[in-house]
Amino acid sequence: MSTAADATRVEEVAGRVVADHDPRRVPVQEFLGACFDAGLSWVHFPEGLGGLGLSRGLQASADAVLQAAGGPTPFWLNPIGYGMAAPTLSEHARSPELARSWLRPLATTEDIWCQLFSEPGAGSDLAGLATSAVRDGDSWVVNGQKVWTSLAHRARWALLLARTDPDQPKHKGLTYFVLDMEAPGVRTRPLRQMTGQAEFNEVFLEDARIPDEHRLGAVGDGWRVAMTTLMNERSAIGAGGTERGSGTIADALALWADRPHRRTPVLRDRLAALWTRAEAQRLTSARARRTATAGSPGPEGSVSKLVAAELNQDVYEFCMDLLGPEGTLYGSYEVRREGGRDADWRGALQQRFLRSRANTIEGGTSEVLRNVLGERVLGLPGDLRADAGKAWKDVPRG
């Protein structure tokens, strides 16, 4: 738990950073580098790795000072880097020096990160994945195909989960690596979404080499390391806005204010219900943030993600109903390869509506998260697992 003295310290450090590196004047990379050096990128990380060794809940105090001075929300500039790679590297890199060499350029957003987990035959059943990594001296040789890899076309580094022992049951034969996306044998192909954007990709790995030093955790312990990534992913996606009326509900409120002629009592009723859900979600996340210490978030991150994803979809459906026929107008379906995630990357409301359909799939589908909630929080009987205890290579695959 944090103390009042810790909170004061964080605010003072943040105050010094914005005084010495005014985010409205210096380049964004310089500002984010100063935040890293001062320990404000992730205040719960160890000193030297972008943190101050304090409680995770104090990040909000740092962010409030940095953003009030005009600082960016770094998560949107390098979402997989900040939300998933950083906690995984800080906890599992082979040495603090190696972790630091990855974390600083990640924090400044010079190095974008991506996550090579899902495959054509392994999404919800991630532990069933088939991409193989075979030891060869001091390195590993990787072959396989990944899919839905957000930002792979811009990424310098990737979090990779691969099978190193097909004779073990599926969870036990996995190992976790950091892959250089510029290494020979790594090929990326865009996948276009219904928004017109191509923010994700297929990634083909053909004899791509990874030095053993870039393994995270022990050989065969990849599932445990992946849990750090997945729990932080869900918690990051489900975090929502910190101020009352912020986050996606702000879009609905702004549209309501802007279209008085489209208002009806039924829509008013729906907006009030959505606002109440958004407020409950915001307060639940705020409580989780305040009580969070170091380490990875628990199943409460999965609950936040589940609730936030369904709320986003309902908010944007409401916006389309309020827009009426205007909701069917869409700027352009030209393929867009997102360059940077600046403030406008989410595009017009129509684009946000289409993009929100993916919210209940990315980072774990709502069905799977309900299973997590049922099993880990409520203690209900587990899902059927026909492959339990069987060697991965003996499990039939379609």
Closest residue to ligand FAD using C-beta atoms:
123
Residue number, 125 or 221, with CB nearest to ligand FAD: 125
Annotated active-site residue in 91, 119, 233, 300: 233
The nearest distance, CB 393 to ligand FAD, in angstroms, is 21
Residue number, 36 or 316, with CB nearest to ligand FAD: 316
Identify whether the C-beta of residue 162 lies closer than 8 Å to the C-beta of residue 225.
Answer: no
Own/partner long-range contacts of 117-120 (Cβ < 8 Å, ≥24 apart): 117/146, 117/159, 117/161, 117/226, 117/229, 118/146, 118/147, 118/148, 118/149, 119/144, 119/145, 119/146, 119/147, 120/145, 120/147
The nearest distance, CB 149 to ligand FAD, in angstroms, is 5
The nearest distance, CB 370 to ligand FAD, in angstroms, is 8
The nearest distance, CB 135 to ligand FAD, in angstroms, is 23
Beta strands in the chain (DSSP E): 113-116, 132-136, 139-150, 157-163, 174-180, 186-191, 200-211, 215-216
Residue number, 129 or 319, with CB nearest to ligand FAD: 129
DSSP structure string for 53-93:
S--GGGHHHHHHHHHHTT---HHHHSHHIIIIIHHHHHHH-
The footprint of ligand FAD (CB under 6 A) covers 114-115, 117-118, 123-124, 148-150, 200, 358, 361-362, 364-365, 367-368, 371, 383
The nearest distance, CB 343 to ligand FAD, in angstroms, is 20
Residue number, 290 or 346, with CB nearest to ligand FAD: 346
Q: What single DSSP character describes residue 44? A: T
233 is catalytic: yes
115 SS3 class: strand
Angle, alpha carbons 149-151-157 (nearest 5°)? 90
Identify whether the C-beta of residue 80 lies closer than 8 Å to the C-beta of residue 150.
Answer: yes
Residue number, 2 or 118, with CB nearest to ligand FAD: 118
Catalytic residues: 233
